Amino acid sequence: MPLYEYECQNCGQCFELLRHFTKADDPVACPKCGDSTVYRLPSLVNAYSAGRSLTQGASNCASCIGKNCGSCS
């Protein structure tokens, strides 16, 4: 099951939930304030092929020389 990150628009609390992908955008209450104005944050993905990361460096593009994830190898 995927791990999704959410942020509460009311109090700014960020939290993670393990949910089935079909339930990723279902309503959820903030664990801190209980408010339901919560939105899902974009997820980072890391893919592997033949034991090599296809997105190496993509999770920290600010440190890439080219400042473009497409230039990472």
Q: Which domains does the chain have, with CATH numbers?
A: 1-41 (2.20.28)
pTM given for the model:
0.60
Query: How far is residue 11's CA from residue 27's CA, in Å, rounded to a whole number?
Result: 16
Sign, CA dihedral 65-67-63-43, equals negative
One pLDDT digit (tens) per residue for the chain, 73 residues: 889 999 999 999 999 999 998 999 999 999 999 999 999 998 776 666 666 655 555 445 555 555 555 555 4
